[in-house]
Amino acid sequence: MPDAIAYGGDWSPEQWPEETWEQDVALMREAGVNRVSVGIFSWSLIEPMEGVFEFGWLDRVMDLLAANGVKANLATPTAAPPPWFGDTYPEALPVDADGRRLYHGSRQGFCPSSPIYREKALRVAEQVATRYRDHPALALWHVHNEYGCHNARCYCDTSAAAFRAWLRSHYSSLDALNEAWGTAFWSQRYSEWAQILPPRATPTFPNPGQQLDYRRFSSDALIELYTAERDLLKKITPDVPATTNLMAGAHWDMDCWAFAAEMDVVSTDHYLIGARAEPHIDLAFAADYARSLGGGRPWLLMEHSTSAVNWQQPRNLAKKPGELRRNSLSHLARGADGIMFFQWRASRAGAEKWHSAMVPHAGTNTKIWREVRALGAELAGLEGVAGSTVEAGVAILVDHSSVWAQDHPAQPSTEMDPVEEAKRWHAALWRAGVTCDLAHPEGDLTGYRLVLVPALYLVSDAGAANLVRFVERGGVALVGPYSGIVDEHDRVRLGGYPGAWRDLLGVTVEEFFPLDGPIRLASGWSGSVWSEVAQATGAKVLDTYATGEPAWTRNEWGEGYAHYLTTRLDDDGLAEVIAAVTAEAGVGPAADAPAGVEVVRRSHPDGRSYLFAINHTGEDAVVTPPAGEPVTVVAGDVRIIPA
């Protein structure tokens, strides 16, 4: 990462006549832009016919950037194969679960397991890398774009064969696979590897183990495409870092933990979902996730929007004045060392012409441009923040395999959405002002004092043991209902739920009782969606249902405590329980602040630090740091207080 905060967006000069380019770079300078992503969707221009490469325009673009002191995240253009690709190699186009082939005319039109796609993608990537290996504008490889955004799973015959190969490398024998998938059920026992298919459309529920492994395989296939490109780029430019933009927190088809492990710098995209009541809390979740994916290292916000997105939803909301700045600084507060947008100049044509940009259709005499310029100036003054990190004493466990397994349609309640529940617990911490990380169940938990497990239906033996060890050594854990239920193959852990943590929690659950309405607890709080008939087998009961059965329990285990909830507490109750466990673990907010004011600290190892106070409310607020004078943060404003 450079010493300055990276600032800019996706620049697509190929969509514009060359006369615009000079104006673009002049405006970039005016706005303090020091970084742009280029070439992302330019395959059909770089290779207009198969094997014919044309770089003149990109040479001029790169030179123009270098001459103006703007660095490039240079993309490999492999996210959008040109029309000739699908035309010549229809067998390399993706196929959906119903067997429909999807044609070119959009983007990501390729089968992730297609050897033809891989060959052509690596060839164009090699051309780009060889051409610009020594270019002074080159700062970072932007490999592909949002892997799996549209083609995460392909069901074609090539993918079927690749799936079988994946299975063979993960199972010692066909017997082991039959055992793992529980194929004795519904007469699914396989007698030949060749009989195994992707979970294509079936008369009713597919086999859960098959579906789960297909998700794993599909994620791995995309990661493999990334690493293949990355390895090639590293051969040509060993010193240029590589990344690809994830969609952390928004898109769960790719295993972000596994993906991020392959990146020199983690980058991600985030867009506000207008339908959410407090989209800035969802933003915080995504930012905390991005930081955690890199083990706390500074990360790069590769894309967000200056205002409205251009998606298929009833209305795409524009950002209100000041929102762009608050959003950007919230990402910065949570560890980003770069703030970038999709995109630099709003497109005149194409499927995303209604997506906002740094330079809107209306030009520079606009709210957006003024805010973009002001933000550039502000970030230039914050270069001291670059490289600093965010400390968190709390971690929330999230795992893609668990999300995938729970996504099987045959569940006790489809209302148990694990991602929304993780976000709800994160939001409770956000409201309490407590900064948290996300962690993989098998990840290193030693630095945390409190671990939250909102909804981890599936956990491996190693993940289960990891949490037990964490509590044993003095940690506090809070486990939500329907967690620790199945093993890594989605097979029930027997003998009373939650099989993974019965001893740790001192609780045994004999039956689930999904709810069709709220249920009142002795404490006065309510639960909804879910309840369980449980017995405390060692834990202290802290709250009960009217029947007297436990709703909230706490067990002493080793040096620590393990709490369990048998229902989905409403927001108020959850806030109280989280207040109790944070107090027990000795973790607190970064500063004293009223509701709706986000406070996060970034620090350098030498002690220099920055307290970010972001006021999302319509009222002025007083923020009191633990050491230091109270400061007023005007309604909608952001204050960054160095210490």
Residues near ligand GAL (CB under 6 A): 145-146, 149, 269, 303, 309-310, 342, 352, 355
* Cβ closest to ligand GAL, residue 357 vs residue 597: 357
Interface with Zn ion (CB under 5 A): 111, 154, 156, 158-159
Q: How far is the CB of 271 from ligand GAL (least distance, A)?
A: 7
Q: How far is the CB of 92 from Zn ion (least distance, A)?
A: 8
Q: How far is the CB of 209 from Zn ion (least distance, A)?
A: 21
* Cβ closest to Zn ion, residue 158 vs residue 210: 158
Select the binding partner of residue 229 from Zn ion, ligand GAL, none (C-beta < 5 to 8 A, by kind).
Answer: none
* Cβ closest to ligand GAL, residue 247 vs residue 390: 247
* Cβ closest to ligand GAL, residue 303 vs residue 407: 303
Residue pair 531/567 in contact (Cβ under 8 Å)? The answer is yes
Residue pair 589/610 in contact (Cβ under 8 Å)? The answer is no
List beta partners, residue 464.
none
Q: How far is the CB of 145 from ligand GAL (least distance, A)?
A: 5
* Cβ closest to ligand GAL, residue 247 vs residue 456: 247
Select the binding partner of residue 174 from ligand GAL, Zn ion, none (C-beta < 5 to 8 A, by kind).
Answer: none
Select the binding partner of residue 156 from ligand GAL, Zn ion, none (C-beta < 5 to 8 A, by kind).
Answer: Zn ion
**How far is Cα of residue 13 from the mean position of the Cα atoms in its chain?**
29
Select the binding partner of residue 269 from Zn ion, ligand GAL, none (C-beta < 5 to 8 A, by kind).
Answer: ligand GAL
**How far is Cα of residue 176 from the mean position of the Cα atoms in its chain?**
33
DSSP letter for 482, please.
Answer: S
List beta partners, residue 439.
397
Residues 217, 221, 226, 227, CA torsion sign = positive
Q: How far is the CB of 404 from ligand GAL (least distance, A)?
A: 21
Residue pair 325/640 in contact (Cβ under 8 Å)? The answer is no
Select the binding partner of residue 149 from Zn ion, ligand GAL, none (C-beta < 5 to 8 A, by kind).
Answer: ligand GAL
Q: How far is the CB of 198 from Zn ion (least distance, A)?
A: 8
Which residue in 47, 303, 323, 488 is the catalytic one? Answer: 303
Extract the runs of DSSP E, i.e. beta strands, from 488-549. Answer: 507-512, 519-520, 526-528, 532-536, 540-544
Select the binding partner of residue 154 from ligand GAL, Zn ion, none (C-beta < 5 to 8 A, by kind).
Answer: Zn ion
**How far is Cα of residue 492 from the mean position of the Cα atoms in its chain?**
28
Going by C-alpha positions, the residue among 275, 219, 270, 273 that lies closest to residue 249 is 270
CA–CA separation, 278 and 280 (whole Å)? 5
498: preceding bond cis by omega (within 30 degrees): yes
* Cβ closest to ligand GAL, residue 4 vs residue 283: 283
Please give the span between the terminal C-alpha atoms of the chain, in angstroms, as a whole number.
23
Q: How far is the CB of 166 from Zn ion (least distance, A)?
A: 13
Catalytic annotation present for 224: no
Extract the runs of DSSP E, i.e. beta strands, from 78-218. Answer: 138-142
On the CB side of 279, CA atoms within 13 Å amount to 17
Residue 192 CB neighbours (<10 A)? 8
Select the binding partner of residue 139 from Zn ion, ligand GAL, none (C-beta < 5 to 8 A, by kind).
Answer: none
Catalytic annotation present for 303: yes
User: What amino acid is encoded at 182 in this protein?
Assistant: G
Residue pair 335/296 in contact (Cβ under 8 Å)? The answer is yes
Number of H helices, E strands in the chain: 17, 26
CA distances 492 to 130, 399, 487, 500, Å, are 52, 18, 6, 10
On the CB side of 384, CA atoms within 13 Å amount to 14
Pairing of strands 550-557, 560-565: antiparallel
* Cβ closest to ligand GAL, residue 51 vs residue 350: 350
Pairing of strands 568-569, 526-528: antiparallel
Going by C-alpha positions, the residue among 352, 112, 78, 125 that lies closest to residue 254 is 112
Q: How far is the CB of 88 from ligand GAL (least distance, A)?
A: 25
Select the binding partner of residue 316 from Zn ion, ligand GAL, none (C-beta < 5 to 8 A, by kind).
Answer: none
Q: How far is the CB of 233 from Zn ion (least distance, A)?
A: 25
Select the binding partner of residue 145 from Zn ion, ligand GAL, none (C-beta < 5 to 8 A, by kind).
Answer: ligand GAL
* Cβ closest to ligand GAL, residue 12 vs residue 567: 12
* Cβ closest to Zn ion, residue 109 vs residue 294: 109
Which residue in 47, 146, 378, 598 is the catalytic one? Answer: 146
Residue pair 280/322 in contact (Cβ under 8 Å)? The answer is no
* Active site residues per annotation: 146, 303
